[in-house]
Amino acid sequence: MSDNNLIFHIDVNSAFLSWEACKRLQKDPEAVDIRNIPAVIGGDESRRHGIVLAKSVPAKRYGINTAEPLASARKKCPDIMIIPPDFSQYVLCSNAFISYLNEVAPVVEQYSIDEAFCDMSGTSTLYGDPIEFAHKMKDEIYNRYGFTVNIGISTNKLLAKMASDFQKPNKVHTLFPDEIQTKMWPLPVNELFSVGKSTAARLLSLGFHTIGDIARCDKTLLISHFKKHGETIWNYANGIDSGDMTRPSTTKSFGNSITLSYDVTDESTAHMILLSLCETVGARIRADKSHISVVSVNITDSEFNNQSKQCTLPQSTNITEDIYHTALKLFNELWNNKPIRLLGVSTSHATDTTAAQVSLFNNPQNEKLAKLNSAVDKIREKYGEDSIKRARFIGSDYTHMTGGLNKEKRQ
């Protein structure tokens, strides 16, 4: 096996639940391992955050799925154990996981809190057979930290990620180009990366049942139905991924979202929630000494339809008011007046403050706002987040800083 182009995808098995189990067993080695009983990690039902965030294998046998309401999970398994999330614990476990990968891999690209890609090209002279070493990595992670992972191995990130999603938990799988037809093509269309529920339904209506059906079809047919995404689907079905591994950069993103306690139907309330989201996002950006240049807004309506829109700013900023006015514009262009269940604001293309672009025609008002934002940050840091707030939020049912600035969520 040549290792000239070798990618590992490492994915923690049922991360939140596994990390919760590790915490409990560390405190009491005699405690029940929640990975071995029907158990889920779930949010706050009173605030409509009552969905399954992670599930144990026994819970899966009852047909319980990630993101389904906790009430539905209880109907399927009345004795299910429901545990609230502990994000501070998850951050600690994630940091330990990524730290270990950085010990053994030349290049690590963190993909989410519980998964990462490792470029292992050229490492066989150091570690020997890549598949044998992947098993050693998997076992080492378990022995060190107490949780299991799946590792997918291939020549690109797409195929490595597809491989890691094969049989779980605690497995190593390969999906090399010569294995695509036997291992990937027989899978149903919904298991192809980037194919969601609505896309899968449309593919089925067009007569595509397996990934192989997609791979063997005329690409122009998919493009006619799905436009640019159709070409991506066809490429992925054939194992084509143009994304190269890159060394970690300083580019970051900052975002915030809220599932609302009731469906919002009026514009003024939605605008207030957007401001609350932007207040926290702006503070996080400044706390990180960064500037951002892309703002996006995400809306999920009461029927769980999702829409998003983004725009690039003429110059980078860390000013809350700039982020809010951009988000407001995007929201007004995006919202179709359907009841809103979730609102989100995210920012990206972040740069270090010292490298932030300064316009030759800088608006003096921005300088004043930057100083004001900085002063407010210092007051909140010293006296607490609620020590100063905009008058608009006095007497409001909504917090002036959705999500807050606690360290774990900021990380």
Residue 212 lies in a domain: yes
Pairing of strands 290-301, 149-154: unpaired
pTM: 0.65
Distances, alpha carbon 153 to alpha carbons 14, 147, 249, in Å: 20, 20, 24
Residue 180 has pLDDT above 80, yes or no: yes
Q: How many helices (H) and strands (E) does the chain have?
A: 15, 13
The helix-helix angle for 228-237 and 219-226 (nearest 10°) equals: 140
Q: Which of 20, 115, 321, 385 is catalytic?
A: 115
Task: Give the count of domains, the chain.
Answer: 3
Per residue in 220-237, pLDDT (tens digit) is 999 999 888 899 999 999
**Same domain flag for 303 and 400:** yes
Going by pLDDT thresholds of 50, 70 and 90, the confidence category of residue 353 is low
Tokens, residue 292: 């951002």
Is a pLDDT exceeding 70 seen at residue 356? no
The label of the residue with tokens 């606690």 reads: 406
Does 323 map to a domain?
A: yes
Q: Is the pLDDT of residue 102 over 50?
A: yes
The answer to whether residue 23 sits within a structural domain is yes
What is the distance between the alpha carbons of residues 213 and 209, in angstroms, rounded to a whole number?
6
> Among 176, 199, 216, where does a domain finish?
176
Query: What would the DSSP string read from start to end of 4-15?
Result: SS-EEEEEETTH
**Residue linked to tokens 């066809």:** 234
Give residue 357's identity as a one-letter amino acid code. Answer: Q
For residues 169 and 26, membership in a common domain is answered with: yes
Interval 86-102 mean pLDDT:
88
Whether 242 maps to a domain, the answer reads: no
Q: Which of 69-83, 155-169, 347-361, 378-392 has the lowest mean pLDDT?
A: 347-361
Structure tokens that stand for 333 in this block: 């262009």
Check which CATH number belongs to the domain holding 295 and give it.
3.30.1490.100
Assess if residue 248 is contained within a domain. no
Do both 27 and 139 map to the same domain?
yes
What DSSP line would sit under 358-400, residue for residue? Answer: --TT--HHHHHHHHHHHHHHHHHHHH-GGGS--GGGTT-SS-S
Q: How far is CA 384 from the centre of its chain?
A: 29
Q: Are residues 191 and 172 in the same domain?
A: no
| Catalytic residue flag (residue 109) | no
- Shared domain check, 142 and 20: yes
What does the alpha-carbon distance between residue 42 and residue 53 come to, in Å, rounded to a whole number?
5
**Rounded distance, CA 82 to CA 333, Å?**
39
Cis peptide before 177 (omega within 30 of 0): no
Q: State whether 215 and 157 are in the same domain.
A: no
Query: What domain range is 152 assigned to?
Result: 1-176
Least Cα distance to 188 among 214, 169, 159 occurs for 214
Percent of the chain with pLDDT over 90: 52
Confidence of residue 252 (pLDDT cuts 50, 70, 90): low
Which carries the bigger pLDDT value, residue 127 or residue 406? 127
Residues 49 and 149 in one domain: yes
112 with 203, same domain: the answer is no
When pLDDT is averaged across residues 101-122 and rounded to a whole number, the result is: 89
pLDDT bucket at 249, cuts 50 / 70 / 90: very low
| One domain, residues 332 and 310 | yes
Shared domain for 268 and 133, answered yes or no, is no
